[in-house]
Amino acid sequence: MKILIVSATKAEILPFLSQNKKAVDVLVTGVGMVNTVFHLTQKLLNTKYDWVINAGVAGSFDKTIPLGTVCRVQQDFFSEIGFENPDGTFSSFLGSSLFPENEILFSENNSSFHSSISSLPVASGITVNTVHGNETSIEKLQNFLHSSDKFQNTILESMEGAAVFYVCQKMQAKAVQLRAVSNYVENRDLEKWNMLLAIQNLNDFLLKIID
């Protein structure tokens, strides 16, 4: 089985890189959906993989999920593709005639890759250009998400997830997204984050499923 692990930064998968003895390719794209789309497309044009694993950390809107929890993101979408209204509300292009194919992006059947993945908590995700760290913008986002039945279960925020799903969908590659919760989506306060725990748990799980 030929596997590609995709991460935005080397730091997020450094423990895996230092311990992995298997023949697994790794792609560090750089942060954000633009970097991800370019570098992953370039990679998949040159090499065919059985599975693409997007591994990284994420912020959670759900504070009942303990920091460090590793989740499998079953669906993801680009939450900022749309327009602002005069009253300050946001309207999405997703699912409209302007952006019909990209409403919500789904992962493959994760258990067909490794049975342990099916034991992880299931999450939905949004992919953003700007990580939210202000109560006002967070409230606006949550109001938008809760205004549609499609988005009510969204709990994780990343800057690359939907981009990986989108490229893999277009390139006909099977994709899995694994995210460890490093922080809650609230007023930005790095002292409340637990990046080390999230990275350690994510990499422990990666080593488990690869080995």
The answer on pLDDT for 182 being more than 80 is yes
Q: Which of 85-89, 109-113, 139-143, 192-196 has the highest mean pLDDT?
A: 192-196
Per-residue pLDDT, 103: 55
The answer on pLDDT for 65 being more than 90 is yes
Tokens 């952006």: give the residue.
Answer: 99
Arithmetic mean of pLDDT over the chain = 87
* Cut 0.95: pTM above it: no
**CA 107 remoteness from chain centre:** 11
The answer on pLDDT for 23 being more than 70 is yes
Note whether 54 and 158 are within 8 A (CB).
no
97-120 pLDDT tens trace = 555 455 566 665 555 667 788 889
Which residue type is seen at 174?
K
Per-residue pLDDT, 105: 65
Residue-wise over 176-193: b if at least 16 C-beta within 10 A, else e?
bbbbbbbbbbbeeeeeeb
pLDDT > 70: what percent of the chain? 87
